Amino acid sequence: MRSSKSLLPWVVWGVAVTLYAIAIVNRSSLSALGPATQDHFGIDASTLAAFPVIQLLVYAACQIPVGILLDKYGSTVLILAGGTLMVIGQVVMATVVNVEFAILARVLVGAGDACTFTAVMRLLPEWFKPRQLSTLGQITGLIGQVGQLVSVAPLAFVVDRFGWATGFLGIAAVGFLSLLLAVVVLRDAPGRRTALERLTGRTGKITKSSESLAAAPITTVTMAPPATNMIPVVGGDRARRKRETKGPNAREGILARVRRLLSIPGVRLAYWIHFVTPFSAQAFLLLWGTPFLTGGLGLSAPAASGLLSLTVVSSMVAGLVLGPISSRFIERRVLLVIGITLLIMVTWLAVLLWPGMPPRWLIIALLVILPLGGPASMIAFEVSRSHTPRSFAGFGTGLVNTGGFTAALVLVMLIGVILDLQGAGSPETYSLTAFKVAFAAQIPLWVLGLVMILIERRRTTAWMDRHGRTLR
C-alpha cells in the first residue's frame, strides 16, 4: 500500500498531463491543415484566420471564469468538463460542411481547452513539493508538445489519406477514452475522491490511504504570499460574502478580484512574460506555419510537416533544459525570458529582412529558435506562484494565461487580414513577399511586451524591497 501511495501523485499527474496533451491536439488540429481547411470550406485567408482567432478569443475570455470555477470546484471537474466540450467540438468539426457550424466547433474546442491547462497546473502544488514545481511545470509543457507533434504530422496524414471526417472523429474518440480514464483516476488533492467515487458515494482504499500525503505542508507559491492587508480589499469580508451570495453583483466580485491581483506588481510581471514569449510560435504552429512554408518558401507538404515537427522537438528539448535552469537561477529567470524573446525577435527579423528567398540554414535556425518561447512562457507561472496568494491560485494562473493567447489571436488575425489586403489570401496567390509583410505584424507586440516587462520588473523589485520579501 505504501508503494501505491507513493506512486499516486505520479499517476494522477500522468493522467492529467495526458489530458493536457490531447487538449493540445485539439487546439492545434488545424496547424498543418490550413490549405486543406480552405479547400474543404472554400474560404479565404481572413476567414481561415477566424477559426483559430475565435478559438483563442474564447480561450482567453474563459481564463478568468475558469480560474474562479477552479478555486471553487477543483481541477477534476474542470478537466472533465473541458474534455467533454472538446470531444463535442471535434465531432461537430468532423460532420459539418457549413462554415458557421465549423466556427461553433472551434468555440467549443477553445472553451474546453481553456479549462484544461490551468486545472492541470493547479494540481501540481497539491501533490508535489515546491522545489519540484518548476521542473514539473516545464515537463508538463513538454509532454503537452507531444500533442502538437501529433497534429502536425499524423493528423495531417490521416486527413489526407482517409478524409476530413475520419481525422477529426479519431481525435474525438481518443479524447472520450481519456475522459473515462480521468473519471476513475483524477483527484484534486490527497484524500479527495475521484469523480466516480463522488457519483457512487463510495470512497476507495487508495483515496483513503492517500490522506497521509497531505500531512506535509502544501503551498502554491515559491515565496511567502503577500499578507492580506497589503492587498486592497473592496468592502471588507462582510461585503465580500454579500457579493458572493447575490447573483446580480457577481460581475463586480470578479472585477474586484482582478483589481486585487493586479495591484501586485509580480502578477502584472507574470502576465507580460506570458504575453511576449509564446505568441509568435503559437501563430506559426496553430495556423500560418504550413502556408508560409508551402506557399511562401515553396516546400512540399511533407517537407513542411517535417519542419514543423522540428519546432515541436526543439520546444520539448528546451523545456527539459529551462526547467532546471529557472529553478537554479530564480533571481535571473526574468532576464532569461528577455534574452529568449530577443533571440526569437532577431531571428525573425533576419528572415523578414533577407533579400529574396532566405537560405535553408536560416529557416532551420528560425524553426529551432522560434519554439523556445513556449517553454519560456512557463516561467510566467513560476513568477505568478511567487506572488499570488494561495486562495487566488487558480484565478491567478488563469489571469496570467490570457497574456500569450491574447497576443496570439491578434497576430493570427493580423496576418490573415494583411495577406488578403495584398491579394495573397489563398493557396493559389500566396507569396514570400506577402508573408514577410504579414509576419512583420509581430514587431509591435514584441516591443510592447518587452517594455512592459522592464517596467514591471523594476516595480516588482521595489515592491519586494518595500515589504521585505525574498524569493525562495
* pLDDT tens, residue by residue, 234-248: 334 444 444 444 443
Q: How many helices (H) and strands (E) does the chain have?
A: 23, 0
Q: Are 110 and 93 in contact (CB under 8 A)?
A: no
CA distances from 370 to 5, 104, 149, 284, 359 (A): 40, 30, 15, 9, 16
C-alpha angle 55-58-63 in degrees, rounded to nearest 5? 130
C-alpha angle 199-200-205 in degrees, rounded to nearest 5? 115
**29 sits in which H/E element:** none
* pLDDT tens, residue by residue, 213-228: 654 443 333 333 333 2
* pLDDT tens, residue by residue, 305-360: 778 878 878 877 877 777 677 767 677 888 989 999 999 999 999 999 999 899 99
DSSP SS3 for 92: helix
- Predicted confidence at residue 46, as pLDDT, reads 75
As a whole number, mean pLDDT of residues 64-71 equals 82
Q: Which domains does the chain have, with CATH numbers?
A: 2-226+264-467 (1.20.1250.20)
Band of pLDDT at residue 469, cut at 50, 70 and 90: low
Lowest mean pLDDT among 35-39, 88-92, 225-229, 278-282: 225-229
Mean pLDDT (the chain) is 80
Question: Which among 93, 104, 82, 100 has a CA at the least distance from the CA of 33?
Answer: 93
The alpha carbon of 363 is separated from its chain's Cα centroid by a whole number of angstroms, namely 25
- Predicted confidence at residue 4, as pLDDT, reads 53
User: Does the pLDDT of residue 75 top 70, yes or no?
Assistant: yes
* pLDDT tens, residue by residue, 104-160: 988 999 899 888 888 888 888 888 877 777 778 778 877 877 777 777 677 778 887
As a whole number, mean pLDDT of residues 246-265 equals 64
As a whole number, mean pLDDT of residues 444-463 equals 91
Cα–Cα distance for residue pair 250/73, rounded to 1 Å: 17
Band of pLDDT at residue 451, cut at 50, 70 and 90: very high
CA atoms within a 13 Å half-sphere pointing along the CA-CB vector of 399: 26
Cα–Cα distance for residue pair 408/68, rounded to 1 Å: 23
- Predicted confidence at residue 152, as pLDDT, reads 67
- Predicted confidence at residue 288, as pLDDT, reads 85
**Helical H runs in 354-441?**
360-369, 373-377, 379-387, 393-421, 432-439
Question: Which among 26, 27, 44 has a CA at the least distance from the CA of 35?
Answer: 44
